[in-house]
Amino acid sequence: MTYESNVMNETIQTVSLREIPEGGVCSALGFRAAGVHAGFRADPSRLDLALVCADEPCACAAVFTQNEFCAAPVSVSRSHLIEGGEGSTYGTARAVMINSGNANAATGMRGLDTAEESSALAARALGCPASEVLVASTGVIGVHLPLAPFESGLPLAVEALSAEGSLDAARAIMTTDTCAKSYAVEFSGEAFGYPEVCFHVGGMTKGSGMIMPNMATMIAVLTTDVPLAAPDLHRALKTVVGQSFNKVTVDGDTSTNDSCFLFSSGAHRPSVPLATPGSELYEIFLVALTQVCVYLARLMAQDGEGATRLITVNVSGAAS
């Protein structure tokens, strides 16, 4: 993909985005991930606990379900970030932990306590404050989420964390999905005055049913090593989600657990300054993030429950 930018009337820069073979949530520098079987599922061959961790606390933005009956993990993760308004949040975080097999939804105060305690367990395992750990759950609704699998699975997940853990993490968040969904791109910093720097944007997602605009039973984790401040990361995420995940409908239902997290490791700092809105680096980051999210959204639509075809309609000459 080639993108031409004429930001602030400056010289047009042409930047090529390159797909990363087997790329995913760890393609960006400064991130590790793991997927293990913790026991949320009876089948020992099914991975059911994913952990994505930044090497250091970093900027993070999130967008959550607009369903008023949101699940406990959504409430807890929101509380761990600064309210950005309109259902979005941003702040500083170190990791996100996701279990499959149980959504911890419609579980009342007990569910909230469980989500908070699971976050605290992950924080202790990682050696960081609980406020820096975000949580998400996916699976059956109305069943209380046990803590025992976290207690036994977290040590395994922390030990397994690696820069090669993207695929296992993507597999661990699957529910009725028929395949893991990961994607990543990279681009050179030469056009921005950083000839020896390569920037990356990648991520993973799950979702194949209860898909409706404004996200659905969808959980996505996105990462980048383009350095951005949390408010600008939040601004970018809101823009891109509106052009990708929020365009997908499978069965008309909006879920209780929708969560989309975006982390920026800032791995190229301080040699690369923060990418700010209006700068060429920010603009090409938006294009890269859009490509990743659109690709993942199409994978979700293609894997929709009962779907046998993915049809693309191109409209030209329309009034709007």
The one catalytic residue in 114, 205, 217, 254 is 217
CA distance 189 to 199: 7
In 225-246, which positions are buried (b, 16+ CB within 10 angstroms) versus exposed (e)? bbbbebebbbbbbbebbeebbb
Burial of residue 161 (number of CB atoms within 10 Å: 0-12, 13-18, 19+): buried
Which amino acid does the sequence have at 170?
A
**Contact indicator for 137, 122 with CB cutoff of 8 Å:** no
Distance CA 268, CA 38 (A): 34
Distance CA 294, CA 281 (A): 20
Q: Is 217 a catalytic residue?
A: yes
28 DSSP 8-state letter: S
Which 3-state string (H, E, C) describes 40-94?
CCCCCCCCCEEEEEEEEEEEEEEEECCCCCCCHHHHHHHHCCEEEECCEEEEEEE
- Tell me 162's DSSP state: B
CA geometry: angle 261, 267, 273, nearest 5 deg: 100
Residues 305 and 269: their CA atoms lie apart, in Å, by 43
Catalytic sites, residue numbers: 217
